[in-house]
A and B are shown apart, each in its own frame.
Chain A
């Protein structure tokens, strides 16, 4: 008998989740389309003055990304909960937090990375310059995995509830606010030609902290939800 191997289980879980997401592209496109629409409607709805757009741009893009990320959260454990795959995940000999990390990584790859990829286009629409776009990408690269990690805790707590959507937003949104403040602040600073190291360091620290702690909290929450 083959020995159970954590590395094999981890990569199989990651691969399966990405494959499932790619087979249900409609679900995948929904938050992305939402992100693009929200940001693209701002210049139409407001005074299209480049100076104004440049000053509100970082905030608009980040608020859009944050709401899109929240929209995509529900799907993280929902289908696994419904079809029993989550139970099977709990019944493996592997540490649950590490399997959770595989699921969160897969979720980020299919929901966070697309946001990252379209954001430079949207930034151009809002007249952000090259330097600000680079920093925007950097904040999204640090910030979107953070949103997935924090969100996973909320999803794990509410997955057993039939109508957990509103509760999920209330749970997760306060935790998203620091990410929004530091990230939008960094991009704003970059657009104004000021230093961004402080905010970036904060985002990096938050990401490191969340990577270490969020899977533990998520695993505990999943055990409670499935009890």
Chain B
């Protein structure tokens, strides 16, 4: 498949919630190696936009295309290229980080590396690997969620507030991961309230609201 054509393009996207228009005429094209940063005040529809990009929520108008094809027409093909880390990352409290990642790998058709390597990369202390996730701190759980990105090696990352609950080192780590991902030809859509340092990447900004 021609990788150069694997773009995410969005045309005339509009979203209405409870009779109120959150945003309209949102359009952008994200190419290989680019990062899109979405800004906007609370309630401006950042999360909804990400959910539309993932195909979870139906837009009121407009469409989302992957490689020139509406994602609804061939969702299974799109889903193999997509990783979404939302506010709730699908981390099971009763399972250990390793078990959570092993499950994510089984569900996501993984190819990146082993769960152990991924957890090491996101800096989760070794002794935490065998604890149930409910005993981890919020920041550590966030790291487990981010480790899934390394495990599944999707082309498109959709990250909702990836810096939440992370310390300074954790935020630097996310920035490094994003830079590496972009350098390898991946693309990412990120919402964040903070200034994100992505030197060397092509960063597009989108302001909502």
Q: Which residues of A contact B (CB under 8 A)?
A: 1-5, 8-9, 11-13, 16, 19-20, 23-24, 79, 82-94, 226-227
Task: Assess the A84–B90 pair: CB atoms within 8 A.
Answer: yes
Task: Assess the A91–B109 pair: CB atoms within 8 A.
Answer: no
Contact of A227 among B58, B76, B84 (CB under 8 A): B58
Shortest beta-carbon distance from B61 to chain A in Å: 15
Most buried by B among A9, A12, A16, A88: A88
Q: Which residues of B contact A79 (CB under 8 A)?
A: 92
Q: Which residues of A contact B82 (CB under 8 A)?
A: 91
Whether B25 is near chain A, meaning CB under 8 Å from some CB there, is: no
Query: Can you report 28 A-B residue pairs in the complex whose CB atoms are below 8 A from each other?
Result: A1-B111, A9-B106, A9-B107, A13-B103, A13-B107, A16-B92, A16-B95, A19-B99, A20-B94, A23-B94, A24-B94, A79-B92, A83-B88, A83-B89, A83-B92, A84-B90, A86-B90, A87-B54, A88-B104, A90-B56, A91-B54, A91-B55, A91-B82, A92-B107, A92-B108, A93-B80, A93-B109, A227-B57
Task: Assess the B109–A20 pair: CB atoms within 8 A.
Answer: no
> Which B residue sits closest to A23, measured CB to CB?
B94
CA distance A2 to B132 in the complex (A): 28
Task: Assess the A82–B109 pair: CB atoms within 8 A.
Answer: no
SS class, residues of chain B in contact with chain A: loop
Task: Assess the B107–A88 pair: CB atoms within 8 A.
Answer: yes
Q: Which residues of B contact A87 (CB under 8 A)?
A: 54, 56, 84, 86, 88, 90
> Which B residue sits closest to A88, measured CB to CB?
B90
Task: Assess the A93–B106 pair: CB atoms within 8 A.
Answer: no
Q: Which residues of A contact B110 (CB under 8 A)?
A: 1-2
Q: 1/0 contact trace for B65-97 toward A, CB 8 Å?
A: 000000000011101101010111111111100
Task: Assess the A83–B56 pair: CB atoms within 8 A.
Answer: no
Q: Which residues of A contact B88 (CB under 8 A)?
A: 82-84, 87
Shortest beta-carbon distance from B44 to chain A in Å: 19
CA distance A56 to B89 in the complex (A): 49
Q: Which residues of B contact A86 (CB under 8 A)?
A: 90
CA distance A170 to B52 in the complex (A): 32
CA distance A90 to B56 in the complex (A): 8
> Which A residue sits closest to B87, measured CB to CB?
A84
* A16-B103, A84-B86, A227-B56 known; A4 vs B80 contact (CB < 8 Å): yes
Contact of B103 among A2, A12, A90 (CB under 8 A): A12
Task: Assess the B84–A91 pair: CB atoms within 8 A.
Answer: yes
Q: 1/0 contact trace for B140-173 toward A, CB 8 Å?
A: 0000000000000100000000000000000000
Contact of A8 among B75, B79, B106 (CB under 8 A): B106
Given contacts A16-B103, A87-B54, A93-B75, 20 further A-B contacts (CB under 8 A): A1-B109, A1-B110, A1-B111, A2-B109, A4-B109, A12-B103, A12-B107, A16-B99, A83-B91, A83-B92, A83-B93, A87-B56, A90-B56, A91-B55, A91-B56, A91-B79, A92-B108, A93-B76, A93-B77, A94-B76
CA distance A12 to B106 in the complex (A): 6
Q: Which residues of B contact A83 (CB under 8 A)?
A: 88-93
Q: Which 3 A-B residue pairings sit nearest by Cβ, starting from the closest?
A: A4-B109, A84-B88, A1-B111
Shortest beta-carbon distance from A226 to chain B in Å: 6
Q: Which residues of B contact A89 (CB under 8 A)?
A: 107
Contact of B109 among A3, A11, A23, A88 (CB under 8 A): A3
Task: Assess the A85–B84 pair: CB atoms within 8 A.
Answer: no
CA distance A226 to B91 in the complex (A): 17
Task: Assess the B108–A85 pair: CB atoms within 8 A.
Answer: no
> Which B residue sits closest to A226, measured CB to CB?
B56
Q: Which residues of B contact A8 (CB under 8 A)?
A: 106
Contact of A88 among B84, B95, B132 (CB under 8 A): B84
CA distance A86 to B51 in the complex (A): 13
